[in-house]
Structure 1
Amino acid sequence: MTATVHLGCCGWSYLNEKEFAAQIKRKYASKLQAYARLFNTVEINSTFYRLPRLSTAQKWRQEADAMNPKFEFTVKAYQGITHLHRFGGISVSLFGQLKEICTALGASVLLFQSPASFRPTEAALKAMKSFLQKVDRKDLICVWEPRGMWYDNPGLLAEVCEECGLVHCVDPFRNEPLVFGPSKIAYFRLHGFGKTSMYNYDFSEEELQRLRSILHSLPQSVRCIYIMFNNVSCYENAMEFSALLRA
């Protein structure tokens, strides 16, 4: 496998620094800096719920730079775009604010997660395509994680991604990525299989071995792979998988 792997979690706020004291080695000024001692990438999930102040994003970038100037942020798009306005209404204006946040963070990857209720209808397709045509996506790789009925028509899903220049984001234990976009990247989000909540999960060594096999099975044209753990044991599992990749 020749692709570069960007490994991390969907957020840093739940990191228990005491559990990773041996790896972190000392007390840092912020939890983000402790996280950056362990991983080289993070997906900011909180931007889905509320857009931070620009000064907050700048502060995050400065904190990460103090640890690793090459530390990478990816950003999950605000739910106002994908869930409330469904790519219509004031979505273009909201995107402008979101792009300012991405610029402050030095983030080049922006994730859109559409709900299962955003079905593959003519109206939905029209709204999404119109939105993507209007916004300034320069310097951004747009990743799309569709949910629901889109997987009933993989041909249409792939066609939309190709036409709109999107990277198809998946949980690799549930679906195969169909399109890697002009940038030739794979973007994986691992949620888990918990019974009460899918996120309440700890991936086994066997599952992590399987994940490594999935990476090795990707097309040779894929140049970057983003792996974001989004489960209760995300930090532990990401550390375990990092060790597995180095073995």
Structure 2
Amino acid sequence: MTLVTRPRLLLVEDDHATTDYVRQGLEESGIDVVCVANGTDGSQHALSQTWDIVILDRMLPGLDGLTILMRMRSYAIMTPVLFLTTMDGVPSRVAGLRHGADDYMIKPFALRELVARVQVLLRRSSSFQHTTIMNVADVELNLLTLAVTRNGEKVLLQPQELKLLEYFMRNAGTVLSRQMLLKDVWHMDFPVRTNIVETHICRLREKLGQDGQPLIHTVRGSGYVMSA
């Protein structure tokens, strides 16, 4: 298997609906997102960990986004920063850009445009040097284009099927329980009665084609494993 690291993005946003909307769009585009709901925790995360890009709201509980940005730059942290805010006046934009922001978007916004701007910033960032191709056996997943092939043949997957496949590929050879899949792929941290895991695995197996060469195996009583 080719080891792959996805880009890591810090989202500091106090509106839960916006957070869920942005996180889903970015994760479906191959980006890992960590969400923080206030400026104090956002500043701590931004200064203490390594990120490929940071998205900040301007108005936050605790520290405001501009203060977080200024702290980052004062510590010579040059991670690309994109402001996502309702503060649309020219003075606000100028202040953000002059203090080191790399881009500035106004709410409401189009998710496709946000994803495109994030991808542009990632390409510009000298810190983003990660491999973008994953391989397990004859299955290949391109994390930038989200293209999937098996033995050179294109495989068309829905967004949630892509997330499930990526999770299996990252953990190839490891038995994954149903609860692990619910938590890490569907973000369900609580017990729930649903057949969503079984349904998606069935669809994924069918689309990958299992004739003679199955890749996703059921381990009775334990879960599932992806292996050649």
More helix by share: 1
TM-score interval (norm. to shorter) = 0.3 to 0.5
Task: Normalising by structure 1, report the TM-score.
Answer: 0.30
Task: Normalising by structure 2, report the TM-score.
Answer: 0.32
